[in-house]
Amino acid sequence: MRVDELANQLGVVAFAGASQAEVVDVTHDSRLAGPGIAFVAIRGAQADGNRFVPQAVDAGAVCVVSEAAAPADCSIPWMRVSDARAALARAAAAVHGWPSSRLKLVGITGTNGKTTSTYLVDSIIRRAEGTSAMISTIRYGIDGTSGESQHTTPEASDIQRLLAQAVAAGCRSAVIEVSSHAIELKRANDLSFAVAVFTNLTQDHLDFHRTMEAYFDAKKKLFDGRLGEPPNSSCINIDDDFGRKLTGLAGGKVITYGLSRGADVTTEGFKLGAGRLEFKAKTGAGDIEIASKLTGRPHVYNILGAISAGLALGFEKDQIAEGVADCPNVPGRFEQVAEAEMLGFKVIVDYAHTDDALKKVLATARELAGSEGRVITVFGCGGDRDRAKRPLMGQAAGALSDFAIATSDNPRTEDPGAIIDDIEPGLKKTGRPYHRITDRKEAIFEGINRAEPGDIVVIAGKGHETYQVIGTVRQHFDDREVARQAIAERAHSIEAGSFK
C-alpha cells in the first residue's frame, strides 16, 4: 500500500509531504521502525511516542502518523490524525490486507477463564481444520509455533501482523483473548469476529475502569458492534449475572451456555478428579461425550464455552470432543507440581488473582483433598493495581483454607507490607489461622513445609509467570521452580532425619 493510499484509509486531519513510497508494515515502537514501515506515535501513560519520531526517521521509517502537527523540519510524510490508537489499528489492518476478514476469528473475553478457553478453542480448531493460530496471555502461536506474550492482548499492529502470518500459513480460523484494557485502548479495533465468547465478569481492574459498569461496558463492545461490527455468533455464560444482561445486547446469533436450565449448551453432571474431567454436554446438535485432562469445576464452564464456539464455527461433534480431549493442561492453571507426590501431598500453582478465581480454585482443591486433607494457601495481591479486591482476596483465602499465608505477588512500586495490610482485614474476618510472610520464596517454603500426606498446597496469583516485579525491576521468579526447590529440600531433610 502506498503512503497516499494509507492516508486515504485513515481519513487524516492533515497530510504533509505526499509520497508514492510503499508501506509494508506498521509499528508503534521506534526500535522496530525501518524502510517501508509506517511509525505511529502513541501517547501512552508512561511515554509519548512523539518523542521517538527522530529515532524512527533515522531508522528509515517511510512516514509518521501522529495526533501532533508535523514539525517544520520533518523529512518524511506526516499524517495528522484525531486518534492515533484508532489509526494504528486501522493502518495495520489495511497494510496487512484486513486479515481477520479472511479468517474465522474467535474472540474470548471475561474476567476469568479466558486463557484456558482460548487453549480449548485452539485445540478444537486444530482437530477440525489441521492448523490454527492463537493469541493468548501465555503465548501466541501459528500451527504449533510459539512465542512469549507480553500482554493478554498485543498491540493492534502486532495482532494484525500475526493474523496476516496466520493467513499466509494456511490457517482458516484463529482465536484470541480480548482483554478489557485492549478494547479500551483500541487494540481490537478493525477486527472482524466470527464468534465472540463471554466467560464471566467479577471485580478486577477497577484501578483502570473505576466502576463495574464501565468494566462491563468495555466487554460489551466486543459483542454490540462498537468495535466495527458485531460478531456473527455470541457465546455467553448465562450463569453469570452480567452474562444474562449481555444476551439481550449482543449481536449475531446468541448461543448460551452454563449449568442453568434453558442454556443452549449445558450438562446435567460431571465426574471430577485430579487430571480428569468427564461429562456429557447437551447441545442442540445432540449430546457430546467429554473427557478432558483439565481439573476442576470452573473448567466445566470453560469447556462448555469452547463447545459453543466450536458449534458456532460449524464443526462436527466428534471434532469438538476430540479437540477438548487433545487440549493439554494449561501452564499455571491448576498446574500440579508432580514432585510433591513422592511426599504424599499435592502442590498446585494457579494464576488466580481475583477473589472469584481464588474461591473457585480453592473449592476445587477442597473437593480433591476430601474430608481428611487440608488446604494450605500461599497468595498475594499485585501492587499498583485495584486495592479494593485485596480484602476480598484475603477473605476468600481464609474462608476456604485450613491455613493461609499472605505474601508478595508483584509488589511493583508499593510497599509489600502495606499490600498485606490491605489483605489482612479479609483474613481476620474469617477467624482462620494465617501468617504474613513478605518474601514470596520464604512463603512458598513455609507452605510446603507445613503440608502433610493428603494435603493440598495452593500457590496462587502468578501462575505461568516467570518473573516478579519489585520496584521497577523485573527479576526471574517462577512459583513452580521455587516449589520444586522446597520439595527437594524437604525430601532431603526427611532422608537425613532432620525434618520434624
Separation CA 306–CA 121 (nearest Å): 5
Phi/psi at 41 (nearest 5 deg)?
-90, 110
- pLDDT attached to residue 142: 86
pLDDT averaged over the chain?
Answer: 94
- pLDDT attached to residue 72: 87
Does 3.20.20.70 match the CATH number of domain 335-496?
Answer: no
The tens digit of pLDDT for each residue in 99-115 reads 999 999 999 999 999 99
- pLDDT attached to residue 148: 62
Q: Is the pLDDT of residue 205 over 70?
A: no
- pLDDT attached to residue 150: 60
Please give the average per-residue pLDDT across 283-299, as a whole number: 94
- pLDDT attached to residue 17: 84
Three-state secondary structure call for residue 53: helix
**Where residue 210 falls among pLDDT bands split at 50, 70, 90?**
confident
Please give the average per-residue pLDDT across 402-412, as a whole number: 97
Q: Is the pLDDT of residue 152 over 80?
A: no
Please give the average per-residue pLDDT across 125-136, as a whole number: 96
- pLDDT attached to residue 228: 85
Is residue 255 within 8 A of residue 217, CB to CB? The reply is: no
- pLDDT attached to residue 257: 98
- pLDDT attached to residue 171: 96
**Where residue 412 falls among pLDDT bands split at 50, 70, 90?**
very high
Q: Is the pLDDT of residue 145 over 80?
A: no
Q: What angle do CA 325, 326, 331 make, to 5 degrees?
A: 105
- pLDDT attached to residue 137: 83
- pLDDT attached to residue 500: 58
The tens digit of pLDDT for each residue in 120-130 reads 999 999 999 99
- Return the minimum-mean-pLDDT range out of 151-155, 238-242, 383-387, 494-498: 151-155
- pLDDT attached to residue 160: 96
- pLDDT attached to residue 450: 97
Dump the DSSP string for 411-469: -BTS-HHHHHHHHHHHHHHHT--EEE--SHHHHHHHHHHH--TT-EEEEES-TT--EEE
Q: Is the pLDDT of residue 151 over 60?
A: no
Q: Is the pLDDT of residue 18 over 60?
A: yes
Which cell numbers in the block locate residue 125? 480448531
Please give the average per-residue pLDDT across 265-290, as a whole number: 93
Is residue 78 within 8 A of residue 63, CB to CB? The reply is: yes
Q: What is the CATH number assigned to the segment(s) 3-95?
A: 3.40.1390.10
Strands 276-283 and 266-273: antiparallel
The tens digit of pLDDT for each residue in 158-194 reads 999 999 999 999 999 999 999 998 999 999 999 999 9
- pLDDT attached to residue 328: 87
Residue with cell 519489585: 470
- pLDDT attached to residue 275: 81
* Contact residues for 272 (Cβ-Cβ < 8 A; gap 6+): 295, 296, 297, 364, 367, 368
- pLDDT attached to residue 149: 54
Q: Which has the closest alpha carbon to 233: 424, 114, 105, 83?
A: 105
Q: What is the CATH number assigned to the segment(s) 99-326?
A: 3.40.1190.10
- Domain borders along the chain are 3-95, 99-326, 335-496
- pLDDT attached to residue 146: 62
Please give the average per-residue pLDDT across 363-372, as a whole number: 93
- pLDDT attached to residue 144: 63
- pLDDT attached to residue 92: 98
Beta bridge partners of 195: 106, 233
Phi/psi at 259 (nearest 5 deg)?
-95, -5
Is residue 413 within 8 A of residue 383, CB to CB? The reply is: yes
Please give the average per-residue pLDDT across 483-489, as a whole number: 97
